[in-house]
Structure 1
Amino acid sequence: MNKLTQPVPHDEELLGPELSDADVDAWIDRNRDALKVALQEAREQIARGEVSELDMEDIIARGRARFEASKKRV
């Protein structure tokens, strides 16, 4: 069985403390225009049929392919 050589960090150790509702609201306010643009682009892509539906197997297969490709770059 594989044993960890280092303890697994908690999310807070990696990402910092969880944002308060006020922090999230402030972030949304700062990025409102960019979020609107991104949502509009997504809606246009959907309207043009440029999206594909993925099931869990597709997502796992893509993840495995990306992982294999990343191993080859090292």
Structure 2
Amino acid sequence: MPDVRDSFSRVAANYSKSTFHTSSVRLQEVLDLARPKGGDLALDVATGTGNTAFALAASPPNATSSTRIG
């Protein structure tokens, strides 16, 4: 059985460059689905480079995002 770490390591270098994960259109789709409201708390756990957490933190102005790195 292949080591999961090896599988992820092979794609990790290009993951943060992927336009699918960094596209403003894709991030807006996430925001449209989540429909965050002021005062909402968003927890982005182990979902990659944090692009989604950063998008949620920026919209709307009173929303809060919590991201653990490391």
- TM-score normalized with structure 1 length: 0.27
Which structure's CA Rg is the greater one?
1
Q: 1 or 2, which has the higher helix percentage? A: 1
- TM-score normalized with structure 2 length: 0.27
Q: 1 or 2, which has the higher strand percentage? A: 2
Larger RCO (alpha carbons 8 Å, 6+ apart): 2
